[in-house]
Structure 1
Amino acid sequence: MSQIISSKKYACETCIKGHRSSACKHSDRPLFEIKKKGRPVTQCEHCRELRKTKQVHVKCSCESKAYNNSQPSSSSAPTNKGVCHLYLF
């Protein structure tokens, strides 16, 4: 059984390479995070929502892709969600 630490699955390198990560019981080896299946997300939340609502394929090149986690919230500072530059294909 792979190790679950803070809701993330971990397994040793040998079991990951041998496609046995879900059955890994090696606690004495260095553990690596098991990546999620499928393609990774490449668009920010804003561009993804535009793609769903307007049904237009846009390439995300926003200046601040990790905006939600990087800026502290303060009532005196203006809430700028970053500048989004969209390229239509």
Structure 2
Amino acid sequence: MLINGVKWACDACIRGHRVSGCTHSDRDLKQIAKKGRPVSQCPHCRSLRKSRSAHVKCDC
């Protein structure tokens, strides 16, 4: 379920891969993280990497 634009689900739905269909508001809810690998660079270094087409290590 979406609460203020953030996805939440109960433990049973998380274990059963039913996160998007969870409607159990009476149970303890956990925040669902975004799919994919987390971003490791700051926005500034990330934009430099995209504009130059070169791999730049984040020194910020």
**TM-score normalised by structure 1 residue count:** 0.61
Tell me how many residue pairs correspond in the alignment.
60
Specify the structure having the higher radius of gyration (Cα): 1
For structure 2, the residue ranges without an aligned partner over 5 or more in a row are: none
**C-alpha root-mean-square deviation of aligned residues, in Å?**
1.2
Relative contact order, higher structure (CA 8 A, sep 6+): 2
Q: How does 1:39-58 map to 2 (within 5 A)?
A: 39-58=37-56
| Structure 1 residue 59: Cα displacement | 2.0
Spell out the pairing of 1:56-75 with structure 2 (5 A cutoff): 56-62=54-60
Instruction: Look up the SS of the partner of 1:10 in the other structure.
Output: strand
Give 1:37's aligned residue: 35
Answer 1 or 2: which has greater helix percent: 2
SS at match of 1:60: coil
In the superposition, the TM-score normalised over structure 2's length comes to 0.85
